[in-house]
Chains A and B, each alone.
Chain A
Amino acid sequence: MIQSTEPKKVLVLDSQSDPYWLEILRGAVSALRGAIEVVSATDAQRMRWRDYDLIILDAGVFSDLLSIIAWILSQDPEARIVVFSPAPSWKQAREVMLAGATDYARKSLHTEHILSTLKKNWTRQTHEENYPIHG
């Protein structure tokens, strides 16, 4: 399979997050040679989710996390969504992952933790080619 040489595009849906954490996130994405874009939840309606390799949500910002995940997946069923939580719990992890999030992690201030989570989810899941197979 030919790997794309385009930089990975990461979307952070989070305008109210701690700027310090966003800076750490930017650094981590940049270390992976990716491009990051931060948009507010109000802009979510106009987003083309398919344009992004990874979508990051801050669990501390959204009260209706599950509906946001469901909405993104309704627009792009193959979207890879990683939820960062300032206070992670196994129940929330179960909820968001059963809702379709790809991963759930602590909103750590340590770059290496963030990097490790990003790396784990960096490659967009490959799906079978969408054509009928003949023989």
Chain B
Amino acid sequence: MKKTILFMDNEQDFLDVHSRLLEHAGYQVVRACSLKEAKDRLEERHVHLAILDIRMADEDDEQDISGLLLAQQEDYRPIPKIILTAYPSYEYVRDALGIAADGQPPAVNFLDKDEGPEALLQAVGRVFDQHVLLNWDLDIHWDPREYLSFLHLAGLLQSDLADEVLVYRADELEHLVRRLFGDYRQIRIGRVFWRDRWRFCLPVLAQSPQGATDARILVCGERGQLRRELEQMRELAPRTPEGTTLDNTIETMHFGAATYVLPDADIETVQTLRDLVGEGRERPLKKAFSHLLEEVLAAWHQRGQRVEEEGDLTSLYRGWVGLGSDDLSRTEVERRVKTLTQEVRPLSAVDIEYANGELAFHFPSLAPLICPDPVAFVYAPLKQYCRPVVCKISPGQLTADNVLIDTEQRTWLTDFAHAGQAPQWWDFVCLEAIVRFDLSQAPDLLAWQEFEERLVTPGGLADRLQAQDVVPDLRTSVVLMEQIRRQAGSEAGLDPVPYYVGLLVWAVGAMAHYDPAILYTQAEKMRGAHLLLAAAMLARRLGETLPTALPGGTLRLDEDGTVWIGDHCAGPLVGQELDLLCCLYEQAGRPVSRKTIFESIFGEKYLAGDADQEGRINSLIRRLRVKVEPASSRARYIRTVKKKGYCLVASGEGRNGR
């Protein structure tokens, strides 16, 4: 990595002469003779310093401070800047070197062009010494078992970039590391513990010139996102000295990085929850879960609670699994779950059907397991648990990889991006979901069914789970889930319903992340099948407990085709389904004949008894019911009127049954 400078000046000759001077002095110079060019270069390249002229639009215009305005932009704040002008004034100096709203001056030095090239060289040298502060002598070693490099890490964060730009991003990551470990002689970078769309986390061992070794956890990611994560952490994290401790932070143009200390941990032996489960030893797992539940998470939960007046429990949970109002639409979630059903069908001898608002599993030699549509449950307000909902401070999204454990089974959290107020069951739900869906292994879907049956049976969170009958591979998981539920019960009460709802939403959220366009392995599909089964059984369990949990109220059709059940949006309708509902809606309360329906929707002459026409009407009615009826088992709004046709009952009240 060479010391790189962006030089912006609209006088081409001046730019060329001084760029050559800097190049001769050993710097790499990226030239820009317009504001746009400078912005483009800064967006693409990685530079350590920018030299900016003030009058970039019109050399003769005293009002032109475009270069200064560029220096003041927040986007370029991490880059140290020198203002270089032919028109120095003390007002310009104030604007350049004065502290801006974010607490930083836009520039670190100010020069008059008349001061000459030597002054420029000296100023540049000072900026590298005092502001760039890179440890150019740092030896960087990589774990030989991993195929890591800065280029690889840059690709993890910004995989959609062209190769040449990715090389600059790799330089930027190296810059972060050389700055963060400015006082060390060498570092050794370990394997990636976890990553998501915009961050990665890995361990770093650092050796000082005196030979002392320090261990850090490095989290690196997109600059704005990481800054928000650190703000959340500063505000919300418990002040426990033994917990994950923020050590240092640094930003470049595109990235931010933070180092954490895990007090007293031997980072060389720290492993993820997934690793520990992989070892299959129950006793250390129980001890680690005790520490995580009773020490780490309890400290977060004690940071404060709030009663959430807005939104019901299911909608709050949906926000936590990426099914909020700004995320995937309900229609898309249904489509993905349907696709998943088709994808997992060939995996086992179990036939799975997802239609007419039901999810049916046909196990060989067993009665079919018919459950209500779990997706409908996830989008239904839970009447008894509407509002208010008690929320507590949560570290966010616990996963099998972002919880670290040392050899003494002490645990540390490493991901705070989603820290905030969450329903008080949320962290326990996440932990159970990790154990249940990510870390447990069963030979087939039948074993999962037996396992799930035990998990949805208890009527209280402190109840024992019957572990003795489940396959041996799953016994440890059952023990851990008992442990999680006991703690959830002691903190949030013994009622299992809000807990089960959380698990159901988590499972549907996980299913919604199955992208039909992606090729999945058998193991990943099997996890999908397990999620499908678990979600269906949770929906069945909740349906039995909460017969009135589904949305109620009057059905209303908006002009844009959106259907509302009370204040719950059942989604938009299009095509024939919308035509059918309009047809019924116009005659609400009165039966509409099959003939009228067929001829108005399909525009063909109705022939009574024609099997094809009857099938088309039945199919259309079924499709519409799936969209608007909260429960598949009983049609409340679109009712069959024997020998007459169908009738829309907008209130949804009165006689039930198709």
A133 contacts B93, CB within 8 Å?
Answer: no
Complex contacts, B233 vs chain A, CB 8 Å? 133, 135
- Report the minimum CB–CB distance from B90 to chain A (whole Å): 4
Docked complex: A88-135 residues within 8 A CB-CB of B: 88-94, 97-98, 102-106, 125-126, 128-129, 131-135
Question: Which of B109, B110, B238, B419 is close to A134, meaning CB atoms less than 8 Å apart?
Answer: B238
- Does B80 touch A at the CB level, under 8 Å? no
Residue of A nearest to B234 (CB): A133
Q: A88-B90, A125-B103 are contacts. A135–B97 as well, Cβ < 8 Å?
A: no
Q: How far is the CB of A106 from the nearest CB of chain B, in Å?
A: 8
Interface range for A: 20 to 34
List residues 221-258 of chain B with CB under 8 A from any CB of chain A. 230, 233-234, 237-246
- Pick from A90, A125, A129: contact of B234, CB under 8 Å: A129
**B92 interfacial by beta-carbon distance below 8 Å:** yes
Q: Is the CB of B103 within 8 A of A126?
A: yes
Which single residue of chain A is at the shortest CB-CB distance from B244? Answer: A135
Residues on B with C-beta less than 8 A from A93 are 90, 93-94, 97
A133 CB contacts on chain B under 8 angstroms: 230, 233-234, 237, 245-246
Q: Report how far A105 CA is from B243 CA in the complex, Å.
A: 47
CB neighbors of A among B98-119 (8 A): 98-99, 103, 105, 109-110, 112
A103, closest chain B residue (CB): B98
Pairwise interchain contact A135-B93, C-beta atoms closer than 8 A: no
Indicate if the CB atoms of A134 and B245 lie closer than 8 Å: yes
B190 at the interface (CB under 8 A from A): no
Complex Cα distance, B94 from A43, in Å, reads 29
Instruction: Write the nearest CB–CB distance from A70 to chain B, whole angstroms.
Output: 15
Known contacts being A97-B94, A103-B98, is A134 close to B234, with CB within 8 Å? Answer: no
Tell which of B97, B242, B245 touches A94, judged by Cβ atoms closer than 8 Å. B97
Neighbouring A residues of B166 by C-beta, 8 Å:
none
Q: Is A135 a contact of B237 with CB atoms below 8 Å?
A: yes
Most interface-central of A85, A105, A134 (chain B CB within 10 A): A134
Q: A90-B88, A125-B99, A133-B246 are known contacts. Are A104 and B94 too (CB-CB below 8 A)?
A: yes
Q: How far is the CA of A90 from the CA of B84 in the complex (A)?
A: 13
Contact A131 B239 (CB under 8 A): yes
The answer for the CA separation of A94 and B83 in the assembled complex, in Å, is 11
Interface of chain B residues 307 through 354 with chain A (CB within 8 A): none
A106 CA to B243 CA in the complex, in Å? 51
Q: B244 touching A134 by the CB < 8 A rule?
A: yes
**Given A97-B97, A102-B99, A103-B98, residue A134 in contact with residue B90 (CB < 8 A):** no
Q: Which residues of B contact A102 (CB under 8 A)?
A: 98-99
Within 8 A of A (CB), among B52-100: 88-90, 92-94, 97-99
State how many angstroms separate the Cβ of B54 from the closest Cβ of chain A.
12
Complex contacts, B93 vs chain A, CB 8 Å: 90, 93-94, 97, 104
Of A92, A104, A133, most buried by chain B (CB within 10 Å of CB) is A133
B514 to chain A, nearest CB (A): 31
Q: How far is the CA of A45 from the CA of B305 in the complex (A)?
A: 49
Residues of B within 8 A of A92 (CB): 90
> In this assembly, does B372 line the interface, its C-beta being within 8 Å of a C-beta of chain A?
no
Residue in A94, A105, A135 whose beta carbon sits within 8 Å of that of B395 in the complex: A135
Contact with A along B428-445 (1 / 0, CB 8 A): 000000000000000000
A91, A103, A135: the one contacting B94 at CB < 8 Å is A103
B506 in the interface (beta carbon within 8 A): no
For B94, B237, B245, B419, the residue with the greatest tally of chain A CB atoms inside 10 Å of its CB is B94
Q: Given the complex, which residues of A lie within 8 Å of B416, measured CB to CB?
A: 135
Q: Which residues of A are found within 8 Å of B112, using beta-carbon distances?
A: 90
**Which of A90, A125, A128 makes the CB contact (< 8 A) with B92?**
A90
Residues of A within 8 A of B260 (CB): 135
Q: A90-B110, A135-B244, A135-B416 are in contact. Are A98 and B97 (CB under 8 A)?
A: yes
With A102-B98, A102-B99, A133-B233 already in contact, the answer to whether A94 and B110 are too (CB < 8 A) is: yes
Which B residues touch A85, using CB under 8 A? 90
Residues of A within 8 A of B238 (CB): 134-135
Q: Return the chain B residue nearest A133 by Cβ.
A: B246
Q: How far is the CB of A91 from chain B (nearest CB, A)?
A: 8
**A residues apposed to B, CB below 8 Å:** 85, 88-94, 97-98, 102-106, 125-126, 128-129, 131-135
The 4 closest A-B pairs by CB, nearest first: A133-B246, A135-B237, A93-B93, A93-B90
A/B interface sample: 25 pairs, CB < 8 A: A88-B90, A90-B90, A90-B110, A92-B90, A93-B93, A97-B93, A97-B105, A98-B97, A98-B109, A102-B98, A102-B99, A104-B98, A106-B90, A125-B99, A133-B234, A133-B245, A134-B237, A134-B238, A134-B244, A134-B245, A134-B246, A135-B244, A135-B245, A135-B413, A135-B419
**With contacts A90-B93, A94-B93, A106-B90 known, what are 13 further pairs, Cβ within 8 A?**
A90-B92, A93-B93, A98-B97, A102-B99, A104-B90, A125-B103, A126-B103, A128-B234, A131-B239, A133-B234, A133-B246, A135-B238, A135-B243
